[in-house]
Amino acid sequence: MGLIVQKFGGTSVGSVERILHVADRVIEEKNNGNGVVVVVSAMGKTTDELVALAKEMSAQPSKREMDMLLTTGEQVTISLLSMALIEKGYEAISFTGWQAGIQTESIHGNARILNIETDRIQQQLNEGRIVVVAGFQGSTEEGAISTLGRGGSDTTAVALAAALKADKCDIYTDVTGVYTTDPRYVKEARKLLSVSYDEMLELANLGAGVLHPRAVEFAKNYQVPLEVRSSIQREEGTRIEEEVSMEQNLVVRGVAFENEITRVSVLGLPNSLTGLSTIFTTLAKNHINVDIIIQSMTQEHTTNVSFSIKSGDLTDTMKVLEDNKQLLNYQGVEAESGLAKVSIVGSGMISNPGVAAEMFDVLAKNQIQVKMVSTSEIKVSTVVEEAKMVQAVETLHEAFELAGTTIKL
């Protein structure tokens, strides 16, 4: 008898009918002789509706109370799914995050999992029950309810699979797997049957919404066998694993993109050894996530630093910079919004020089200006005008020959 962790997202449990369908998928796995732990998100747009309610109470709601509010969404789903399973003749029990033993750091709204006490879940599995766990949530050492941020149910599922030493973790979603790019924007996108942990981590960090980056980190660090599958269609999904064979010798395996990017430029910083460390340490202490960074020297022997952030963080970023102006000793700050990040990803880039040059050439021929660049061994990211984001994705997808039908590896 094996142990399978299944995760179903908000769309998959968006109605009573869909919850009943999920119950059938869970029962299939149970009937295969496996122990089953199911992680679920809140139904449909429940989280968005709860956020809207909070905004009616306060323009800046308490983060602690937001966690208390938002975690009720998953509590509804776990109880309904457990009821459905029991009605169909199977023993099931639901747990909130804290009941499931998920312990997080003491940060509200975007906490990281520190530990999982699995005794309670394991006891129920030993007694033959299906265990249904609320995703996206846990509790702090002080006993407060905490949330893991958007997409945190993925993280819950993979972390539980790691802690329970599960044989596999299946992430059920409204798509049939991981695609070369988002098929909602590019019709020629095709499903990949296998992606490496490193490639998936880059894709997730760069805007591919099919998996949460922290979930991929857990899977890689603990070697959790992972598969992204459709909750509706019964077909093979995409395996996330350590090593994959090169598909048609593709150097680039996917194009990821993310809108609502802002470039912030801090001008006239002192040209000192500690200038960069001071500014980014200050931003990090205030939980500002910085992405692409560019530094340049001026004729006045000062330093200008530009970095990209999510546009939603602009207000907080500007406040942090203003509050610490004396410490940072800069002359001015500029911000440019209306930008997007477009990236190519592929482990084959390590042994194939010239990929970045080809990317820039394709963008230039299509009159798409590159405003910022960041590279690693397996990805190249560019910041472009948001209005040209889809055009950039389509042209790169075509240029690197990613279109076509799914090919068995």
- Whether residue 272 is predicted with pLDDT greater than 90 in this model: the reply is no
Alpha carbon separation from 258 to 47, 124, 193, 261, 399 (Å, rounded): 21, 41, 23, 7, 20
Q: Is residue 359 part of a domain?
A: yes
Between 150 and 291, the higher pLDDT residue: 291
Is the confidence at residue 1, as pLDDT, over 80? no
List residues bridging with 379 in a β-sheet.
345, 376
Task: Write down the residue that tokens 């048609």 correspond to.
Answer: 248
> Residue 121: inside a domain, yes or no?
yes
Q: Are residues 146 and 280 in the same domain?
A: no
Q: Residue 254: which of 376, 393, 362 has the closest Cα?
A: 393
Mean pLDDT for 29-50 is: 95
Write down the pLDDT at residue 274: 82
Task: Using alpha carbons, select from 113, 74, 109, 108 the residue that is nearest to residue 94.
Answer: 74
225, two tokens: 């066998």
335 lies in a domain? Answer: yes
As a whole number of Å, the CA-based R_g of the chain is 23
Please say which residue of 159, 174, 189 terminates a domain: 174
- Residue 25 in any domain: the answer is yes
What's residue 408's pLDDT? 43
- Tell whether the model's pLDDT for residue 247 goes beyond 60: no
Classify 270 as helix, strand or coil. Answer: strand
Q: Answer whether residue 185 is part of any domain.
A: no
Q: Are 167 and 306 part of one and the same domain?
A: no
- pLDDT of residue 23 exceeding 60: yes
Residue 307 has pLDDT above 70, yes or no: yes
Q: Which one has a higher pLDDT value, 108 or 247?
A: 108
Residues 13 and 161 in one domain: yes
In a domain, 187, yes or no: no
Which residues does 357 contact at the CB level (< 8 Å), separation at least 6?
none
Indicate if 24 and 137 belong to the same structural domain: yes
Quick one: pLDDT band at residue 251, thresholds 50, 70, 90? confident
The larger pLDDT score, comparing residue 282 to residue 409, is at 282
Total number of domains in the chain: 2
- Tell me if 333 sits within 8 A of 267, measured CB to CB: yes
Q: Is residue 268 part of a domain?
A: yes
The answer to whether residue 407 scores a pLDDT higher than 50 is no
Decide which of 270 and 257 is more confident. Answer: 257
Confidence of residue 249 (pLDDT cuts 50, 70, 90): low
Q: Give the per-residue pLDDT at 409.
A: 35
Residue 300 burial by Cβ neighbours in a 10 Å radius (0-12, 13-18, 19+): exposed
Cα separation of 138 and 19, whole Å? 23
> Can you read off the two tokens belonging to residue 194?
């296998």
Mean pLDDT of 286-302: 88
pLDDT tens per residue, range 141-151: 999 999 998 78
pLDDT tens figures, 100-131: 999 999 999 999 999 999 999 999 999 999 99
The answer to whether residues 237 and 229 touch, using CB atoms and an 8 Å cutoff, is: yes
User: For the segment 178-212, what is each residue's pLDDT rounded down to a tens digit?
Assistant: 999 999 899 999 999 889 999 999 999 888 888 88
Answer yes or no: do 161 and 274 share one domain: no
The predicted pLDDT at position 406 comes to 52
The residue type of 13 is V
Count of other CB atoms within 10 angstroms of residue 151: 19
* CATH number of the domain within which 43 lies: 3.40.1160.10
The secondary structure element, H or E, covering residue 386 is none
Domain boundary among 153, 174, 195: 174
pLDDT at 15: 96
**Residue 244 above 70 pLDDT?**
no
Domain that holds residue 332: 255-399
pLDDT exceeds cutoff 90 at 69 = yes
pLDDT at 281 over 80: yes
Higher-pLDDT residue of 50, 409 = 50
**Does pLDDT of 353 surpass 90?**
no
The whole-chain average pLDDT of the chain stands at: 92
CB atoms within 10 A of CB 44: 18
pLDDT reported for residue 275: 81
Q: In percent, how much of the chain has pLDDT > 90? A: 81
Question: 254-270 and 130-134 as β-strands: parallel, antiparallel, unpaired?
Answer: unpaired
Query: By the 8 A CB rule, do 83 and 130 touch?
Result: no
Same-domain check for residues 259 and 388: yes
Residue 299, domain CATH: 3.30.2130.10
408 within some domain: no
Residues 276 and 164 occupy one common structural domain: no
Average pLDDT over residues 276-284: 93
**What is the number of other CB atoms lying within 10 angstroms of the CB of residue 252?**
26
Answer for the pair 132, 94: CB distance below 8 angstroms, yes or no. yes
**Contact present, 332 and 364 (Cβ < 8 Å):** no
Contacts of residue 320, Cβ cutoff 8 Å, sequence gap at least 6: 282, 283, 286, 288
Task: Examine the fold and report which residue of 141, 174, 207 is the final residue of a domain before the chain moves on.
Answer: 174
Same domain, 12 and 161: yes
Residues 320-323: contacts with CB within 8 Å, 24+ apart?
A: 320/282, 320/283, 320/286, 320/288, 321/264, 321/266
Q: Which residue has the higher pLDDT, 389 or 408?
A: 389
